[in-house]
Amino acid sequence: MRAVTWQGKRNVSVEEVPDPRIEQPTDAIVKITSTNICGSDLHLYETLGPFMDRGDVLGHEPMGIVEEVGSEVGDLKVGDRVVLPFQISCGHCWMCSRGLYTQCETTQVRDQGSGAALFGYSKLYGQVAGGQAEYLRVPQAQFTHIKVPEGPADDRFVYLSDVLPTAWQAVAYADCPADGTLLVLGLGPIGDMACRIALHAEPGRKVIGVDLVPERLERARSRGVEVIDLSEHGDDLLEVVQGMTSGRGADAVIDAVGLDAHGSPSAKFAQTLAGLLPDAVAQPVFKTAGVDKLAAFYSAIELVRRGGTISLSGVYGGTADPLPMLTLFDKQIQLRMGQANVKRWVPDILPLLTDADPLGVDTFATHHLPLEEAPHAYEIFQKKQDGCVKVVLHP
Ligand SMILES: NC(=O)c1ccc[n+]([C@@H]2O[C@H](COP(=O)([O-])OP(=O)(O)OC[C@H]3O[C@@H](n4cnc5c(N)ncnc54)[C@H](O)[C@@H]3O)[C@@H](O)[C@H]2O)c1
Ligand SMILES: [Zn+2]
Ligand SMILES: [Zn+2]
């Protein structure tokens, strides 16, 4: 089959790879019809190379039709239309029974000290072949699927794999009062969708979005978000936000940027160094150094009001990142974070994927491209060219 493979820093290619096959009775094979590129894929493309091998198949936001099933996949049947959550979880362990699917004890990647295995997300998360491909092997398929109805086009449902539950969890964890101000850093797919969800939940709420890409700012503005252009307010962001929040700061801040934030020169050296070393040397360096570019997280700490909440959905990776503990403690900041527990939120989200499409999922993608054009798609998504905000690939 054809699949998008990682080949090196800023280098992906579409290659012929072996067809996946059923290996365990709990496996299913899904023929992929739509498969997105995520901001998380850009971390693999740019920074997390030491944890990738050439030829690794990328992708964790796929949907399609069940082609083949093992003998222990519950009620999943050949022909079912399914979205695949980005995490692989069993549905019955101690963590899964508490809705903490990203911590699944059946699939935890213990040799890396990581939580549940993820599709297409490096050795840190189990080096499982991803879904930017014609076919995908789905482990723990009895639980790792979301059945969706026939009828609407894929765009209606494909964001259930990641964008919708991630943005939903970000808003839930932010716990912003109904009459409060929510500030969202980063207006990529996750930040944009978080704004939409927050405004849908409380139409009168003040939602402020910060980014530096004109089309992304405009997309958010057109849906009722008050936007701040970081390229104009890099130096006086705090004053601008204070001016919009009675001098106190935002009640809650969502960081939807993560470890490749713009405007953080200091970690660039560690990231570059880790990228130049052989993997065996780079992995421990990466895991023990302060490698994250923390500009967005630092802004969140600054912009949240005293006693407010920071909800991190942006992915971070270092273990020795310098954090301003004095400020975090003194401001009494509450911090919540993590990969989204996808199926925890699906029952809340499905009622919004109706014909009225209140979250605008039908028109959320800016680009629909053939799988073969993945190298171009990664490039325009990373460089924010051609108005690219979200790409859906079609095998
Ligand atoms: N927690 C989860 O389960 C989960 C799931 C999906 C994605 N993510 C993470 O969420 C983050 C966002 O994902 P995305 O798909 O929207 O990615 P994206 O890269 O398209 O969006 C990031 C946005 O942040 C903006 N930005 C960069 N530096 C900034 C700064 N200092 N201040 C404000 N904005 C800044 C960029 O211009 C960009 O628009 C990524 O880190 C991704 O890995 C987490
Ligand atoms: Zn994703
Ligand atoms: Zn489990």
Cα separation, 258 vs 295, in Å, equals: 9
Ligand 1 pocket: which of 163, 190, 294 to mutate (most atoms <8 Å of CB)? Answer: 190
Residue 38: CB within 6 Å of ligand 1? yes
Ligand sitting nearest the alpha carbon of 105: 3
Buried b / exposed e across 201-235, counting CB within 10 Å, b at 16+?
ebeebbbbbbbbbeebbebbeeeebebbebeeeee
User: CB of 313 closer than 6 A to ligand 1?
Assistant: yes
Q: Cα–Cα distance between 282 and 273 in angstroms, integer?
A: 8
Residue 138: is its pLDDT beyond 70?
Answer: yes
**Does residue 296's CB lie within 6 angstroms of at least one atom of ligand 1?**
yes
C-beta of residue 287 within 8 angstroms of C-beta of residue 256: no
pLDDT tens, position by position, 209-228 = 999 999 999 999 999 999 99
Taking CA atoms, 309 is separated from 175, 300, 305, in Å, by 7, 9, 8
The kind and range of the H/E element at 68 are strand 62-69
3-state secondary structure of 50: helix
Q: How far is CA 322 from the centre of its chain?
A: 24
- Look over the chain and give the mean of its residue pLDDT values, rounded to a whole number: 95
What gap in Å lies between CA 93 and CA 148, rounded to an integer?
25
d(CA 63, CA 89): 17
What are the tokens at 34? 């739509």
* CA 43 to ligand 1 center in whole angstroms: 10
Instruction: Please write the tens of the pLDDT for every residue from 239-270.
Output: 999 999 999 999 999 999 998 888 866 666 66
Q: What spacing in Å lies between the alpha carbon of 277 and ligand 1's midpoint?
A: 26
More confident residue, 265 or 148: 148
Q: Which atom of ligand 1 is nearest to the CA of 165?
A: 3
Chain centre to alpha carbon of residue 186: 12
Residue 172 and residue 146 in contact, taking contact as beta carbons nearer than 8 Å: no
C-alpha 391/C-alpha 371 separation (Å) is 10
Q: What is the pLDDT of residue 285?
A: 72
